[in-house]
Structure formats: structure tokens, C-alpha cells
Amino acid sequence: MDQRPDAAAGRPDELFPRFAFEGAPVGLACLSGPDQRILAANPALAALLGTDAGALVGRCLADLDHPQGSVTRDRAGETWWRRADGSPVRVRLRAGPERDGCRTVAVEAVADGAAARAEQTHLALASAGLGEWSWSADDDRVTLSDRAAAILGYPAGATPNWAELQEMVARDDLDRMRATVQDAVAKAIPYAVEMRVRRANDGQEAWISARGQATLSPDGTPTGMIGVLQDVTAREEARRALHDREQRLRVATTVAALGIFEWHVLDDQSLWENERMWEIFGRRPQDGTISMREFFRMVVHPEDKVSFRRSVAAALHGDGVLHATTRIRRPDEGGGKVWRTIEMAGRFERDGPAGLPRRLIGVVADITDRRLAEERQSLLIRELHHRVKNTLATVQAIVGSTARTASSIDSFYEAFVGRIMSLAHTHSVLTEDVWQTASLRGLLENELRPYADGEMRPGTGGRIELDGPAVDLPSEIAVPIGMAIHELTTNAAKYGALSNRAGRVQIRWRLEPGPGRPRLRFHWRESGGPAVAPPTRQGFGSRLLQRVLTAQVQAEVATDYAPGGLTLTMLAPLPARNAALNPLAAL
């Protein structure tokens, strides 16, 4: 009778002697069929996998694979199997020859050195804040290391499924994560993605960096995935805080119209951090920045180079803080060059307390408009002082002359108040005008309006006729001419054409070219009034017409006391306007 057991019944006698099979120091398994189903397992194999031999019988070899390993074996025949408690063990497989549809496979644990190295790798990953994870397509479960579980808020040993993990991802990041993973799987390459997740234990949001790679079967089908996790919440919060600070700085510098720059000293290279820098220097990004050498040679005003160098030297030899003001040459829209005034402030960074300066970080402001405004304000103050001084002198003259020519207190009061009111009106007109000028027509209308019987335009038939172009009188001649108009009007009202109902006053003026600047020709003619005779004595009005207009206005004055009416002709040069008094000059 044949004592050999049937191999199909799971007896190893035909392939291996019984005593050798049971007592082998390495794990042995008899496999059968294309699915490599276990027919028999020896005690050494059972001990390796933490179970008994009977529990292994009937299982396929692939059932022992751990997701941490690959379905395909490497050249050494090593792979990862799952122990009964779920922990991985790295084993090396050596298959014997096939006999009658069966073969024996020897299984031994990888040498202690390799296991120790693997453990050291796990410890190194954990110490770096990285948690390991693996996903098996068979059961859709994700195995997490203790560190990975803590990162996601799971207890140690938890094995959530893939769908549960995706539910934790923020909706705004989920589609991006899926697209990244799918693209990496299709290309069989590793992937890395950062996303927000809600921790499983407390629901708190955290930023997670996940890296992984799919494991593929020989036909390219994904069978699992392995990778690492890292909690990057602190880094992301720091990055966002830095981003917020940079945004606040950019908003502040934009509102303040400040340009931000860096100058690297050793290689003389500049970095311009915002658009305002390009605007200040009149350049485009495609033109590139300028080096400090080019700045000194081509941009700084020649008269400012020495002072600017002193400022830089003082910063380098002092506390490293630079404050400098200079004029720079900037292209204008017409293709020419204009000078602008800038103010620069910054600090030099050094390699050490006594090291060489590495770079200058600072800001630049275009203060041209501010400087022009300051200069205009200073000029206005000087103009005000001059005008007040002249006004006081004029008032003093008015008081003295009016007192000498007045016949009574009432006549003094009337003449003095009239002259002061005329002076005040002229100053009011000058103050209200941005150019500090007064309209000649406006001065005439203000004095003559009480005596007009209608419009004062030519051809209307009124007793007062004003005919001439628009002329704005600068402040230095507006006051004396205004007072002259007042004296002419007052004299006409008392003794001349405006002292009766039939008299008329005709005033004409025009601008004529003169040597270097235009001249004003002014003609005052009275008619229809009482007969005129030359005055027997010179009053204040006559002295003002002759002396003030001649001295202050440099005018040529001719007076004719014809019987038919007084005629006065004045030819006065117009002073050039001071451009600094124009508030629109900087626009």
C-alpha cells in the first residue's frame, strides 16, 4: 500500500520529508494552483506570522501581503507580509521546483540589520514630524503610523477608509488634491500637495503636507499608495502672517507714494520692489533697474553729488542709517529730461557687527511738489511781509496827507475812510486770486459802479464807459494803480464829470509791446462836467498820481486840465509773473 499522502490533500511528504518540513528553522509553505494557495505551513512560518499553522492553510499567498510592500517582488524576493496582529514583517521568499502542480516556498525574515535600519528610518521620520501612511485598494483602508494618526486626530492603530479621509479635506482644496493625485498616478510619479483638513478628534483646522506615490501591479493598475504626512500649520500661519505684514507694508507705501528698493553693495545690483520705484525714476520694468554707479554718474544732479556721497559715507561709518535728499534727472513724457527732488531713507545690513555692508534696504519719496510748495509758501511769506510794510507806509502817507488837506474833521474822516476802503478792497482781490493778481476792470468797476447809470460797456450810452482787454495786475502795481483809480473817481465826483448829471467818464486801455515786457497804456477822459482849471495847490490825489505811480509803478504819467474835462494818460510796464506763486506749476 502506498504510504505517501496525496499532495492535493496538503501533505508535504511528496515534496519534502515530514520531519524536515516540521523541524525546519525557516518557514515553509506548500503552494498549489495559479493563486498559490497554501496547502500546508510549518511551525516556523506560523511563528513568524504570529499564528498557528492550521490558520494559514487554504489562504492565498497574496492574502499575506501588507500594503506597505509591493505586490511584485524585488530581485532578492523580499516583500512585506502582514502578521496576525496587522503589523508588517519583511520576508524573503525562495521558491523550490514545481512537482505535480505544487511547489515549496521557503520564507525567512529579513536579517536583523535590515529590520533595525527600517526601524531607524521610522524613528527618523517621526523625529522630523513626518507620519507614514499606506492605502490598500483591496479593502480601501489607510494604515497610519502613530505620528500620522496624531496629525490627523485619530487614535493610534486607527485605519480609516479613503472616503473618510477625503471628508476631512476642506472643500476648496479637495478638487485640487484629487486632480494632483490622479495626475501623479496616471504618470506613475510621486506627488506632493498641501491642504486644509479638519482633525478627527476636535474638528480644528490644520494645514497638512501630504506626499505619496501609488504602487502598481504589473499591468499598471494601482493596488495601493504609500507616503508621509506632515503638520505644516505653524509654517503656514507664519507664512500668512508674513504675507499680511507685507500687504500692509505695500498698502502703506502705496498710500504714502513710497518706492521700496534693495541695493546689493558687493555686486552693485539694485532690486525695485514696487511700481512706485519705476514711476519715480521714469523707467519701465523692461528698461531694468539702475546700479549705484549709474545712479551717481547719470542720474544725480551734478551739484548734489558731493552732499549725497557724504550722506552715504556717514551712514557706512556710523549707525548704518541713511537719510539723503538729492535732485535726479528723469525722462519726461515728451522725451526730454526734467529734474525731480527725491528723499531717500534706508539702513545698511552687515555680515556682522564689524563686517562689510551687504545691502541697503530703503524707501524713496518724490518730494518735488512738496519742495515747490515750501518754496512758494516762503515766497508768499516774504511777499506778505513786503506788502504789509508797503501798506503801513501807504496808510501813514494817507493819514498825514489827508490831515494836511482836510478842512474839517468830517472831511478828513470822509477822505480817509474812502481811501482805506479802496486799499482794503484791492488787498482783498489780491488775496482771493491764486496768482496774487487783481483785474484792472474789476478795480475800475468797484470804484465807478455807484456813479454808473447802466452797463459800463462801450456803445450802451451810459455815462461811464470801460473799454479794454482783460488785464491782471500783479500785486506790486495793483495797489498803487487801485489807489490812483480811487483818487481819480473821488476827484471826478467832487469837482469833475461825475459831480453833475450830464458828465461822462470814458476809460480805455490796451497792452503794447515794450522792451523786455509788455506795457499798459491807460487813458482816463472826462467830459460834460464843470469847466476845469489847473489846481492852485497840489493835494494828496495829485501827489499820488504823480509820485506814487512814477515811483512804485515806473509809469509815465501825463495829466491835462483842459476846460472840457480832465484827461490822464499812463504808460506802465507790467512786471513779470513769479512762477513760484502759481500753485498749479507743480501739476
DSSP letter string over 327-349?
EEEEE-TTSSEEEEEEEEEEEEE
- Structure confidence at residue 253 (pLDDT): 63
- Structure confidence at residue 303 (pLDDT): 92
Question: Nearest to residue 188, comparing CAs of 162, 223, 160?
Answer: 223
Q: Are 439 and 430 in contact (CB under 8 A)?
A: no
Rounded to whole angstroms, the Cα distance separating 106 from 31 reads: 11
- Structure confidence at residue 1 (pLDDT): 34
pTM reported for the whole predicted model = 0.42
- Structure confidence at residue 526 (pLDDT): 94
C-alpha dist (Å) from residue 501 to 506, 532, 551: 15, 16, 35
Rounded to whole angstroms, the Cα distance separating 176 from 79 reads: 33
Instruction: For the chain, 587 residues long, give each residue's pLDDT as a single digit of tens.
Output: 333 334 344 455 554 567 677 877 888 888 888 888 888 888 888 888 889 888 888 888 888 888 765 444 443 467 888 888 888 888 888 877 777 778 888 888 876 555 555 556 666 666 667 888 888 888 888 888 888 888 999 998 888 988 888 899 998 889 998 999 889 888 889 999 999 999 999 889 999 899 988 888 777 788 888 888 988 888 888 888 877 777 776 766 666 678 888 998 888 888 888 888 888 898 888 888 988 889 988 899 999 999 999 998 898 888 889 999 999 988 876 667 789 999 999 999 887 766 778 889 888 999 888 888 888 778 777 777 766 766 666 676 667 666 766 678 877 777 777 777 777 777 676 666 555 688 999 999 988 998 998 889 988 888 999 999 999 998 788 888 888 898 899 889 988 999 998 999 999 999 999 888 899 999 999 999 999 888 776 655 566 666 678 877 888 988 898 999 999 999 999 987 655 555 444 33
Rounded to whole angstroms, the Cα distance separating 501 from 519 reads: 34
Rounded to whole angstroms, the Cα distance separating 351 from 48 reads: 60
Label the pairing between strands 321-331 and 27-32. Answer: unpaired
Rounded to whole angstroms, the Cα distance separating 45 from 24 reads: 9
Residue with cell 450830464: 502
Bridge partners, 438 (sequence order):
473
- Sheet hosting strand 321-331, strand order edge to edge: 269-272, 258-264, 357-366, 337-350, 321-331
Rounded to whole angstroms, the Cα distance separating 546 from 558 reads: 9
Residue with cell 506548500: 30
- Structure confidence at residue 186 (pLDDT): 87
Rounded to whole angstroms, the Cα distance separating 481 from 549 reads: 7
Domains of the chain: 7-110 (3.30.450.20), 114-231 (3.30.450.20), 253-366 (3.30.450.20), 372-580 (3.30.565.10)
Beta strand spans in 139-285 (E): 141-144, 191-198, 205-216, 222-231, 258-264, 269-272
Rounded to whole angstroms, the Cα distance separating 146 from 136 reads: 18
Looking at the chain, the number of H-run helices and the number of E-run strands are 17, 22
Q: In terms of C-beta density within 10 A (0-12 exposed, 13-18 middle, 19 or more buried), how is residue 473 classed?
A: buried
- Structure confidence at residue 65 (pLDDT): 85
- Structure confidence at residue 579 (pLDDT): 55
| Contacts with 175 (C-beta within 8 Å, 6 or more apart), sequence order | none
- Structure confidence at residue 378 (pLDDT): 81
Beta strand spans in 434-489 (E): 437-439, 464-467, 472-474
Rounded to whole angstroms, the Cα distance separating 422 from 483 reads: 7
SS3 184: helix
Residue with cell 517621526: 126
- Structure confidence at residue 393 (pLDDT): 64
Rounded to whole angstroms, the Cα distance separating 494 from 152 reads: 105
- Here the cell at position 3 is 504510504
Amino acid at 408: S
For residues 293-323, one letter each, b for 16 or more C-beta atoms within 10 angstroms of the residue's C-beta and e for the rest, the string is eebeeebbeeebeeebeebbeebeeeeeebe
Rounded to whole angstroms, the Cα distance separating 24 from 14 reads: 16
Rounded to whole angstroms, the Cα distance separating 431 from 425 reads: 10
Question: Nearest to residue 18, comparing CAs of 3, 33, 8, 32?
Answer: 3
Rounded to whole angstroms, the Cα distance separating 106 from 29 reads: 7
Q: Are 228 and 133 in contact (CB under 8 A)?
A: yes
